[in-house]
Amino acid sequence: MSGGGLLVAGTTSDAGKSVVTAGICRWLVRRGVKVAPFKGQNMSLNSFVTREGAEIGRAQAMQAQAARVEPTALMNPVLLKPGGDRTSQVVLLGRPVGELSARGFFGGPEHPAGPEQDARPPGGMPDGAGDISAGVLRGGRREALLETVTACLEELRATHDVVICEGAGSPAEINLRRTDLVNMGIARAARLPVLVVGDIDRGGVFAQFFGTTALLAPEDQELVAGYLVNKFRGDVSLLEPGLEMLRGLTGRRTYGVLPYAHGLGIDEEDGLRISLRGAVREPAVAPPVGEEVLRVAVCAVPLMSNFTDVDALAAEPGVVVRFADRPEELADADLVIVPGTRGTVRALEWLRERGLAGALARRAAEGRPVLGICGGFQVLGEHIDDGVESRAGAVPGLGLLPVRVRFAAEKTLARPSGEALGQPVEGYEIHHGVAEVLGGEAFLDGCRVGQVWGTHWHGSLEGDGFRRAFLRAVAAAAGRRFVPAPGTSFAALREAQLDRLGDLVEEHADTDALLRLIEGGAPPGLPFVPPGAPGLPAATTAGTPGAAP
């Protein structure tokens, strides 16, 4: 197998594209296939720093782990990080190049509100990518981005047997088709077969499959090979007549029916969909080792980023993690975490408006544990000077840590390592804020005062030794008879979850047919499903490698 590929699209957001992509990657690598994940354009506040110092979507880092390869900027060349309802920071090949409104990014007349920065990752850009930052900042955005996205995909295909691509949202978002880089735009440019995933747990999956296909232009429909049902509960035999009728209506088969799987615990793309009422990160199955549980409350700040930092805590037997947006929800917590955010000043205002700022101050005065991570660390400081992210200028912080923060135009992207609480620690940093620590006890390049801890490091709690030492310190301060489980390995738990995804694909998909699709492309002669969408003008595909005429 060489140069094979597949685009995993979805009927909706949250249909399961990320986990299906990861599952296919794990299934293939267990067969001895050299496979890589890819997502041309991602919109997410959950990101990761690669060893080359590039920022990519956290989901693509997880998929790379499923494929047992090192994540790189090639796997997610365009990352959009929302800064509000209408603007996003544009990260190109792992480097931020500015802020754009949705209208500006999708072809409007404006330019980014930010410095022009070189978007080349360390080690250079793929051959043929061109100067992408100039293309985006000076016009011709779609053409420049599609050229670079396609070049990244082709480089991955040249160095791997198979590349499994993930789409975004729905390919049938006809208002965005002319500027599409991640669904049918990249499928048509690279001649990728498309597998459409639908979440049957939401209901209406047959209408979703049919409608998605029928809203695509004829040239796009030629690449839609078939469907994959996700999150099915019950007897598959009851579903089969509907699948046969769907095949009769569309001429396309269903490649599998994946059952609903509880407790996958796999990195999600976005924290914006968290429902606060009763929201709890999936707890560990094993009972607590000590006599009591440890309760962790996470302040659900606006534009919350990298909330996956708390997943390692939720994996500990006896640790219960919940999200909170009211001061009374912090009252019985043994540990309160203020997580990362893409809007530090906005989060600070929100904490004050909600009364959470006062609750945090009372906790600090009482010697009850608080942990601030990245933006959460910054709000715990004395002073913030932000002329970059919010442009609010000088703003007083909560004053719980002796730290002054100045926002720099250049983003810090790093993979630090060190020691804390007598244990080795590794993490990753993604922030514009530069912290000047004026006192306290050193803690992971941040500081600690009493039971208030702050650091810019994401991912530190994934280290088993450090996590256990930290939880012992929290339990002692909280007066809880909690004992960390000595044998918990977060890395092993993550591997087991990825293997579960591979098992779902292997056991419930037609893997022989899936292999033929990956190797040979979409079957020829797939019928057109009316009415279809209007075709694209030649200018949107001309000059694109592999584009349909």
DSSP H stretches of helix in 277-326? 311-314
Whether the bond into 531 is cis, omega within 30 of 0: yes
| List of residues 6+ apart from 87 with CB closer than 8 A | 99, 100, 101, 102, 113
Phi/psi of residue 424, nearest 5 degrees: -70, 145
- Would you please indicate which residues are annotated as catalytic (active-site) residues? 374, 458
The amino acid that residue 275 corresponds to is S
Distance of CA 547 to the CA centre of its chain: 29
Check if the beta carbon of residue 144 is closer than 8 Å to that of residue 130. Answer: yes
In order, the DSSP letters of 432-472 are EEEEEE-SSEEETTEEEETTEEEES-BSGGGSHHHHHHHHH
Residue given tokens 């310190």 in the structure block = 473
Task: Report the phi/psi class of residue 466: left, alpha or beta, with left for phi > 0 and alpha for psi in -120 to 50.
Answer: alpha
Measured CA to CA, the distance from residue 115 to residue 89 in angstroms comes to 11
The CA–CA distances, whole Å, from 322 to 278, 283, 299, 311, 391 equal 7, 10, 9, 11, 32
Residue given tokens 């061109």 in the structure block = 130
Structure tokens, 244: 């046969």
Structure tokens, 67: 């494929």
| List of residues 6+ apart from 480 with CB closer than 8 A | 290, 292, 293, 294, 334
Measured CA to CA, the distance from residue 363 to residue 333 in angstroms comes to 10
Check if the beta carbon of residue 379 is closer than 8 Å to that of residue 401. Answer: no
Measured CA to CA, the distance from residue 225 to residue 222 in angstroms comes to 8
Measured CA to CA, the distance from residue 245 to residue 28 in angstroms comes to 30
Residue given tokens 């408006």 in the structure block = 353
| List of residues 6+ apart from 21 with CB closer than 8 A | 8, 37, 63, 164, 165, 166
Distance of CA 323 to the CA centre of its chain: 18
Exposed/middle/buried for residue 409 (C-beta within 10 Å: 0-12, 13-18, 19+): exposed
| List of residues 6+ apart from 492 with CB closer than 8 A | none
